[in-house]
Amino acid sequence: MNIILYRPIKKRFSRKDQKDDAVIDQIVALNALRKELPDAVGWTTLGPYLFHAPAEMVEGENRYVCTHIAIYNESNTTLTSLKVLYRGNFQFTPRIVYSRHEAKVKWQHNAQDKELILTDIPPNETVEISIYNPLEFDVVQVLVNGKKITDFMTRRALAKAYPMPLRWRIALPLMITTALCLLSFLSWQTYNIVKSNSDYDLLSTVPKGFSSCRPYVFDNPPDGSGEKKLERLLKQENAWLNFILAMNNATDSSELHLKDRVVLCKAVDKPEN
């Protein structure tokens, strides 16, 4: 009886399959990160500022002070419970309205615990609260569903509520790039000017010797990165070695390798007759 054995065939994955898996993993990771981000819910205050009542409504001079609070719900869910915790007090009933939705805001005032309680705030909606004649009034914190609204959440909410115009989103990176290029150019120009002045000061102390040799400054960093180039230049300019040693106040070439700036000699091309 013939027995046939089958060897399992291992599946080979191509590089394309591996790249596709890597892309999928990145997408999954980004989605997980996006889900971990806090809701775009925030709040800001304005005031207290002074305003006058219209003359047609009151007699005499009537001045009032107002503090404005804005609650931003730029998330995709309805905020079932939001509390504005405050200290101080105020004289009149607050005015609480939606900025978009033409409906009354469901709210109540817990004067004993000093909190304004708002319920059922729709998604992508802003609640505007006006506090009239505040007496040392200040918002301590704002809680949404029992959790504190952080500064990061407020920044996210404001970024969604007041998005940057498209032209600015395009122009801003270009302006930053241009500014960086300009800064780099100015830094390079400043470096060249400072180096040229420093080289001139050093070369002005060099004695004149050979008309066919033009002195110049070679930078020899302490990290040794210019050692090989310096050695090569000294071999090329060996004919003026004695003059180079004299210009650098050195007795032999080994002392030149210890200097951070070495004055070397470049041959001057003779004019053709």
Report pLDDT for 31. 52
Q: Give the pLDDT band of residue 84 (cuts 50, 70, 90).
A: very high
227: number of Cβ within 10 Å: 12
- Is 86's pLDDT higher than 90? yes
Report pLDDT for 36. 53
Report pLDDT for 26. 58
d(CA 238, CA 227): 16
Q: 85-94, 107-116, 215-224: which has the minimum mean pLDDT? A: 215-224
* Residue 263: Cβ-neighbour burial (10 angstroms; 0-12, 13-18, 19+): buried
d(CA 155, CA 44): 10
Mean pLDDT of the chain: 77
What mean pLDDT comes out for the span 90-102?
87
43 neighbors 143 (Cβ within 8 angstroms):
no
Report pLDDT for 33. 44
* CB environment 127-138: b (16+ within 10 A), e (fewer): bebbbbebeebe
Report pLDDT for 206. 67
Whole-model pTM? 0.49
What mean pLDDT comes out for the span 157-181?
75
78 neighbors 120 (Cβ within 8 angstroms):
yes
d(CA 169, CA 174): 9
Per DSSP, helices labelled H in 109-165 are 151-161
Element housing 67 (H / E): strand 63-73
d(CA 50, CA 174): 42
Q: 12-16, 41-45, 150-154: which has the minimum mean pLDDT? A: 12-16
234 neighbors 247 (Cβ within 8 angstroms):
no
Q: What is the pLDDT of residues 59-80, one digit of tens each?
A: 666 677 889 999 999 888 888 8
Report pLDDT for 250. 83
Is the four-CA dihedral 76, 81, 86, 92 of positive or negative sign?
Answer: positive
Q: What is the pLDDT of residues 189-222, one digit of tens each?
A: 887 787 777 777 677 766 665 567 788 888 888 8
Report pLDDT for 270. 56
- Is 184's pLDDT higher than 90? no
* Residue 85: Cβ-neighbour burial (10 angstroms; 0-12, 13-18, 19+): middle
Q: What is the pLDDT of residues 223-249, one digit of tens each?
A: 877 788 888 888 887 777 888 887 888
- Is 185's pLDDT higher than 60? yes
If one compares 106 and 233, the residue with the highest pLDDT of the two is 106
- Cα–Cα distance list, 86 to 105, 110, 112, 148 (Å): 19, 11, 11, 14
100 neighbors 126 (Cβ within 8 angstroms):
yes
Q: What is the pLDDT of residues 1-30, one digit of tens each?
A: 455 544 454 455 455 555 555 555 555 554
